[in-house]
Amino acid sequence: MLVGRAPGVAVLLAPAGAVAGVDVRGAPVGTRELDLLDPSTLVRRVHAVVLGGPAAVDGVVRWLAGRGHGFPVGPRPFEVVPIVPAAEALGLPAADGHAVCESAVPLDVPALALVGGTAVGLVVVDADLEPAECRRVAMSAHDAFARAGVTVPATVFAVATGAPTGTPLNDLCTTATTALERAVATS
C-alpha cells in the first residue's frame, strides 16, 4: 500500500485491492462510494481511500484507471472502474489527487487524520479481514476522535492489509483506536 499526502488531502492507494469498512457519525461532507463498503454489496475491495474532496477523488480515479486498476467491467485490461471511497474534512484546502498519487510512497504510519469543520480518519490494520470486521475496526477507531476532543461530525475508514496475522479482532480494534488518536494529535 502507498500513501500520498498534500495539505488537506491524504490518499491510501491499494491498486491490487483491499478490504475496507467505514463508520460515519454526524453529517458527512464530500463523500463518495460509502455505501459500497456495506458488507452486503457485490464490491469486496477498494483500490484507494481518499481523505479529501471531489477534486482529489477525480484525480485518484484517473490515476488508477490509467494503470488498469479497478473493478473489471469489460474484457479488456483497461475496462475498469476504480473503487475509491472518500470523505472530506470541511474547510481544508483542495489538492490534485493525480499529483498526490504520483508522489505516493510506501505506507509509513498505521493511521491518518484530517480535522476541519468535519473530521476524517483512516486506519490500516495488518490482518486478513472480512468487510464486516473492517467496519467493526472503523467503529472502534472512531472513539479516537472523542478521546482527542474532536466533536465535529466524523468519518473513519478501516483498511486491512490482507496479511493473515491471526491477531484477534478486539486487539485490532484497540490498536487502531490508539493509532488514530496519535494521528489526530499530530494533524
70-79: pLDDT as tens digits: 999 999 878 9
Residue 89 clears pLDDT 90, i.e. is over it: yes
Average pLDDT over residues 130-151: 96
What pLDDT is stored for residue 44 in this prediction? 87
Residue 108 clears pLDDT 90, i.e. is over it: yes
pTM summary value: 0.95
What pLDDT is stored for residue 121 in this prediction? 97
Choose among 64, 58, 47, 54: nearest CA to 12. 47
**Residue 46 cell numbers, joined:** 477498494
Give the C-alpha separation, 104 to 21, whole Å: 22
Residue 29 clears pLDDT 90, i.e. is over it: no
What pLDDT is stored for residue 147 in this prediction? 95
Q: What is the mean pLDDT of the chain?
A: 95
What pLDDT is stored for residue 37 in this prediction? 94
Give the C-alpha separation, 97 to 148, whole Å: 28
Q: Percent of the chain having pLDDT more than 70? A: 100
| E strand segments, 52-186 | 71-72, 80-81, 86-87, 105-106, 111-115, 119-125, 154-160
What pLDDT is stored for residue 28 in this prediction? 83
- The mean-pLDDT minimum among 28-42, 51-65, 104-118, 139-153 falls in 28-42
What pLDDT is stored for residue 154 in this prediction? 96
Q: Which DSSP symbol is given to 142?
A: T
**Residue 72 CB: number of other CB atoms within 10 A?**
12
What band does 27 get if pLDDT is binned at 50, 70 and 90?
confident
What pLDDT is stored for residue 38 in this prediction? 93
Contact indicator for 83, 36 with CB cutoff of 8 Å? yes
Contact indicator for 70, 83 with CB cutoff of 8 Å? yes
For residue 51, the surrounding DSSP H or E stretch is strand 46-51
What pLDDT is stored for residue 185 in this prediction? 94
